[in-house]
Amino acid sequence: MFSHLPPYAGDPILSLMEQFQRDERSNKVNLSIGIYTDGKGVVPVLPSVRTAAAAVAQADAPYVYLPMEGHGAYRQAVAKLLFGADLPAPEHLAIVQTLGGSGALKVGADLIARFFPQPTIWLPDPTWDNHIGIFEGAGFKTERYPYYDAQTKGLNFEGMLAKIDSLPRGAVVLLHPCCHNPTGVDPTRAQWEQIVEVVEKRGLLPFFDLAYQGFAESLDEDIWPVREAVRRQIPFFLSNSFSKIFSLYSERIGALSVFCPQAGQAANVLGQLKLTVRRNYSSPPRNGALLVAHVLGDDKLAAQWRGEVEEMRVRVRDMRVKLASQLKSAVPDQDFSFLLRQNGMFGYTGLSSAQVDRLREEFGVYAVGTGRICVAGLNDSNVARVAETMAEVLRG
């Protein structure tokens, strides 16, 4: 019956994680997967979330199904967090609770594929691998626009803008509003202004994917391109994830928002989102939504959580500074300042795949084959060793 099924090669990043867990070296360091660990190398339970969990347990509510669109207070609280003072009126915004950011991408992709047949999505080159998997899995053709410039270790802004400015009306274009995965390279505010302007001028459909809000500058600044699209009345899709910024990875909690500038359309969009959910998994799980809704719904807890996000952001930035300066001392003829211009948990190091292999095999330091490291996996106990071993492979 199943003899024609080929083996699954495994996901490159998740396979590295499994390999890391089997590695018996005590000085091994995991910089492969996108998980934030604190200064002690531990995945934190945020204190605000711990307080919320106690309140949720105390309430002892029955485990009835949530509606297809998710928990009502959660959806309202998330909309306020995302859009702030630019929150669209309900008749302009369709928002559903999703299974993390991945679930939001999938529900959005399915909806677009149903109503815009034979869709194509333009993705940055490079992008998160699973963008290709999710969109192709939903029936999209995937194309690329220029993004990373290996020469400058920065953004190929001219190439990006020129390509976006050549796309056909209605083309779907995926944009990372901040903390680009995998490179850590983001457009500046002035560059975003131009990007949003071109998107508007050409009548494109942006699909914003926001997995690291608050890890670049701040919760409000990092979502600037999305709010600018609201101000300009550009219709868009927005997937957002609370895996990292609430440290709620396994709860699978996120949301999909669709902004509908034309009044009256959001109700039908919401209806079709609900139908998409119904046909996929019927309704989302409860716990993550209750935790996030409790934190965001309580002014004091919400302020505390904002401080916790800021603490994570600052810690990662501090690690960038330490890594760059220690690399500079070890390899003085090379420039590592690019690490300081990157945002968020990830960075491209410029290491080749052979150098990444050597780092892992010889020293037990795990990076992704593309040279991506998760800077959020560094701490005061491992950064010196990571810098030394990186310097060693860079010297050749």
Residues lying near ligand TYF in the complex (CB under 6 A):
13, 33-34, 102, 128, 181
**CB nearer to ligand PLP: pick between 244 and 320:** 244
Distance in Å, CB of 252 to ligand TYF, minimum: 8
Residues marked as catalytic: 128, 209, 244
Residue 347, binding choice from ligand PLP, ligand TYF, none, Cβ under 5 to 8 Å by partner class: none
d(CA 111, CA 371): 34
Asked if 122 and 163 touch (Cβ cutoff 8 Å), the reply is yes
Q: Residue 152: what residue type?
A: T
| Residue 95 φ/ψ, nearest 5 degrees | -135, 130
Residue 377, binding choice from ligand PLP, ligand TYF, none, Cβ under 5 to 8 Å by partner class: none
211 is a contact residue toward ligand PLP (CB under 6 A):
yes
**CB nearer to ligand PLP: pick between 288 and 364:** 288
Which member of 70, 88, 100, 119 binds ligand PLP (CB under 6 A)?
100
On the 0-12 / 13-18 / 19+ scale of CB atoms within 10 A, 282 is exposed
102 is a contact residue toward ligand PLP (CB under 6 A):
yes
Angle at Cα 324 formed by Cα 338 and Cα 342, nearest 5°?
Answer: 35
The residue at minimum Cβ distance from ligand TYF is 34
Asked if 192 and 343 touch (Cβ cutoff 8 Å), the reply is no
Q: Residue 216: what residue type?
A: A
Distance in Å, CB of 128 to ligand TYF, minimum: 6
30 is a contact residue toward ligand PLP (CB under 6 A):
no
**CB nearer to ligand TYF: pick between 67 and 126:** 126
Task: For residue 349, give every residue at least 6 positions away whose Cβ sits within 8 Å of its Cβ, in sequence order, or none.
Answer: 339, 367, 371, 372, 373, 390
**CB nearer to ligand TYF: pick between 34 and 124:** 34
d(CA 109, CA 21): 33
Asked if 43 and 36 touch (Cβ cutoff 8 Å), the reply is yes
Residue 13, binding choice from ligand TYF, ligand PLP, none, Cβ under 5 to 8 Å by partner class: ligand TYF
Determine the straight-line distance between the first and last CA of the chain, rounded to whole angstroms: 51
DSSP 246: T
Task: For residue 262, give every residue at least 6 positions away whose Cβ sits within 8 Å of its Cβ, in sequence order, or none.
Answer: 235
Residue 254, binding choice from ligand TYF, ligand PLP, none, Cβ under 5 to 8 Å by partner class: ligand PLP
**CB nearer to ligand PLP: pick between 106 and 322:** 106
Residue 110, binding choice from ligand TYF, ligand PLP, none, Cβ under 5 to 8 Å by partner class: none
User: 12 vs 47, 105, 319, 346, CA distance in Å?
Assistant: 32, 20, 25, 16
243 is a contact residue toward ligand PLP (CB under 6 A):
yes
What track of x and - describes contact with ligand PLP for positions 155 through 194 (by CB under 6 A)? ---------------------x----x-------------
DSSP 146: E
Q: What is the Cα gyration radius of the chain?
A: 21
**CB nearer to ligand PLP: pick between 100 and 347:** 100
Taking CB under 6 A as the binding criterion, the range among 98-106, 257-265, 312-320, 386-394 that sits at the site for ligand PLP is: 98-106
Residues found near ligand PLP in the complex (CB under 6 A): 34, 100-102, 128, 176, 181, 209, 211, 241, 243, 254
